[in-house]
Structure 1
Amino acid sequence: MTDNLPAAGRRSLDAHLALLGCALVAAALVIIWGARLTVPRVMYVSELGATGEPTAEWFRAALLLIVVGGSLIAWAGRRIRTIAPLLRAWAPAISLWVGCAFFLVASQVTCTARCPLPYGPSFTWQDFIHTSVAVLAFAAACWAMLQCSFAVGHRALRRFSLASGIAVAAVAGTGGILSLARFGTDVGSVLELVATTIALAWLGVLGGSLVAVGSAAQQFEEAVGEPDELVDLVVVPVDPPHARLGFDRHEVAMLLPDDERAFGT
């Protein structure tokens, strides 16, 4: 889509798509919190969309906003690559799109009343599908966070992604274990809401960082007087660190040709 545009126009469009994605994700988070605060009893986030709940349609809308917003942010960040051998089989954007696909299914197949666990006498295929895709969606999001923890450049994003990935995995995992054990569901429900909040906050930060990078690239091109060149803003490690060439210790922003074939790659 945007790859057929000139570099400057492509970056501008990608930045606007990322900004729109951030707005949609933020709206989804507000809806989830607003819906949760209207329910006085203890409940997990998925129960907001359970059959018969007054918050069901709001929950469905929130998940759809996450799907659209996350997909837009993934598109804007499709060029992010990771350097970790075990994580670079595919781009973080692919992981985000996979997670969004699972959330799309979860928005259409919500759990039954009270969201019983899909095993034992209370088993239903509806609950099994919803629970399974929700878990897989969180797993895909955590994988994307780990991938971004080793992304080329984006130092601040790397640190935040690592912290977020660990936090979401630990908090959501603990909440899931409590749910399976049918113990401490009041604590487990809070943990699930916290994990959801962290995950959506990370997605918003990812989108915000892409907007910032696009803006920095445009300003840099204007500064060198070549706004129409087909170039990308990348981060290249510089050694030694005391060369003082970078804005962040040993990293420096450089303009490279958009077409990597110019380097014979």
Structure 2
Amino acid sequence: MARPLLAVAAVAVLVGLVLLWGARIAANRFVYVSELGADGEPTAWAFRWSLLLIAVAALIVAAEATPLRSRVRILALITPSVSLLIAGAAFALASQITCTSGCPLPVGASFTWQDFTHTVIAVLGFAAACVAMLQVATARDHPRLARLSMVSAVVVAVVAGTGGILSLARFMQHLGGLLEFAATTVALLWLAILAVALLAAVPTEASATAERASPVSGRVG
């Protein structure tokens, strides 16, 4: 069952990404990702389905990524599977608990518990995904996947960090929105590639039969 599930996960991530960008194009204005799902937005349905698909994909990959371990002590306190499990659960919740119209920052006069809850859950999910990326980037025995994950982690950290600062400063928000979408795109493509890499490492029925006769250790990446 692992192979078809991982294939489903890879497709689900890509469909979710297409939905997000389709909604972004349909919005026809500069927005942050969460604004697509805000109360009253015509793109809210696409946002919810996108996050649900991404959540399902993250949970599937989490279940199949148990062999991955970081060689860095602090990152090895939990496994990439746990980080992806947290991310998947957070995305699922964020798809249902969306922000209010305009997605204001939950501070000062604009504070609402709905916005606060969505913001906390969304940040937690994205942070958990970034931790998973770093964990895979420092994983043992998977050099190619580790290099790809390190590049993705650096790009996401720099791009998302810059977009977040612009959002908090309420400065050049059009650029901040584009940067957030770029970081999200890189992160989701990484998740899809991870699903494919794990799928490639799962032996087919024929190779599994051969391995039982002559065991050979498989590698991811």
TM range (shorter): over 0.9
* Larger strand proportion of the pair: 1
Contact 2:201 2:218 in 1 (8 A): no
Q: In structure 1, which of residues 208, 215, 233 is the aligned counterpart of residue 217 of structure 2? A: 233
Asked whether 1:93 is paired with 2:77, we answer: no
Output the TM-score relative to the length of structure 2.
Answer: 0.93
Q: Which residue identity is paired with 1:57?
A: W
Q: Which runs of 4+ in 1 moved over 4 A?
A: 217-222, 229-232
TM-score normalized with structure 1 length: 0.78
Bigger Rg, structure 1 or 2:
1
Q: Any conservation in 2 of the 1:95–1:140 contact (CA below 8 Å)?
A: yes
Q: Give the counterpart of 1:208 among 176, 196, 206.
A: 196
1:20 maps to 8
Find the residue that maps to 2:217 and give its secondary structure. strand
Whether the aligned pair in 1 keeps the contact of 2:103 and 2:115 (CA below 8 Å) is yes
User: How far apart in 2 are the matches of 1:24 and 1:231?
Assistant: 33
Aligned pairs for 1:5-84 (under 5 A) are 13-84=1-72
Alignment pair present for 1:193 and 2:177: no
Q: 1:15, CA displacement in angstroms?
A: 2.1
Question: Per the alignment, do residues 26 and 186 of structure 1 end up closer, same or farther by CA in structure 2, a change over 3 Å counting?
Answer: same
Matched, 1:118 2:106: yes
Percent identity, aligned pairs only, is 46
Aligned partner of 1:233: which letter? S
Task: Give the aligned residue type for 1:14.
Answer: A
CA RMSD between the two structures = 1.9
Listed one character per residue, the Cα deviations across residues 156-201 of structure 1 (whole Å, up to 9, x for unaligned) are 1100111111111111111111111010100000001001101100
Q: How has the CA–CA distance of structure 1 residues 91 and 232 changed in structure 2, closer, same or farther, with 3 Å as cutoff?
A: farther
The C-alpha deviation readout for 1:46-88, integer Å capped at 9, x for no partner, is 1000000001011001100011111111111122112111111
CA contact (8 A) 1:73 1:207 kept: yes
Task: Give the CA deviation at 1:40.
Answer: 1.4
- Counterpart of 1:181 in structure 2: which amino acid? A
Match of 2:119 among 131, 134, 142: 131
- Residue 212 of structure 1 and its aligned partner are, at CA, apart by 1.2
Unaligned runs of 5+ in 1: 1-12, 236-247, 249-265
Sort the Cα spacing of 1:61 and 1:147 in 2 relative to 1 into closer, same or farther, 3 A: same
1:176 equivalenced with 2:164 (yes/no): yes
Aligned partner letter, 1:135: V
